[in-house]
Amino acid sequence: MLIQAFTDGSCLSNGEDNAVGGYGAVLSFIFQGEVRTKEVSGSITNTTNNRAELTAVIKAMESVKGSHDWEFTLDSKYVIDIAEGNKNPKLNLDLWKRYQDLRSMHKSVSFFWVGGHTGDVLNERCNLLAQTAANQQAMFMARQASALEVKQEIIEDVVAKKKQLSFLQRLFGGKE
């Protein structure tokens, strides 16, 4: 079966520590005589844009069982150049190993480049999936951090009140 997949990755604050990213993929294939589509998306923490782009390809391949022919269309020359053997990977070796392991399970894999943010409907859809996943993860992490700050403030308030109570008890001769 031929699977045509558009993929994209997104990274908020690319290059910064603890950067949050997302990936998106739209897969199209013919199954039992009908054209089917499937969307795949998710978030990634501690990432870069290149990691997010490669993760999108990996997650697309992981989302379908069996051995297939793949045609990927994406806006990442980084992924295409290395996947096609034009360059050697120097970073993200863990992901490149995952990709190679997946690649070896399939009949063929080819790549086509499309300019990002040029109006290609499926590339734009993948970008939206990736950015939405990244933003949702960033909001979740912000809420967690905020909840931890509130919890810390409550603990500090309780400790301060205990100290005040202890002081007042000593001052007025009460029990501690």
Tell me the CATH number at 96.
Answer: 3.30.420.10
Whether 41 contacts 130, CB under 8 Å: yes
Q: How far apart are CA 74 and CA 122, in angstroms?
A: 10
Q: How far apart are CA 55 and CA 66, in angstroms?
A: 19
Containing structural domain, residue 121: 2-157
* Within a domain: 165: no
Whether 24 contacts 40, CB under 8 Å: yes
Cα angle at 85 between 97 and 116, to 5 degrees? 90
According to DSSP, the residues that pair with 109 across neighbouring strands are 70
* Within a domain: 162: no
DSSP secondary structure, 65-80, as one string? -S--EEEEEES-HHHH
CA count, 13 A, side-chain hemisphere, 140: 11
- The ranges of the chain with pLDDT < 50 are none
Q: How many domains does the chain have?
A: 1
The whole-number pLDDT of residue 145 equals 77
Span 103-130, pLDDT tens digits: 999 999 999 999 998 999 999 999 999 9
Amino acid letter, 115: G
Question: What's the predicted TM-score (pTM) here?
Answer: 0.83
The whole-number pLDDT of residue 175 equals 60
Span 66-83, pLDDT tens digits: 999 999 999 999 999 999
Pairing verdict, β 2-12 and 69-74: parallel
* Within a domain: 172: no
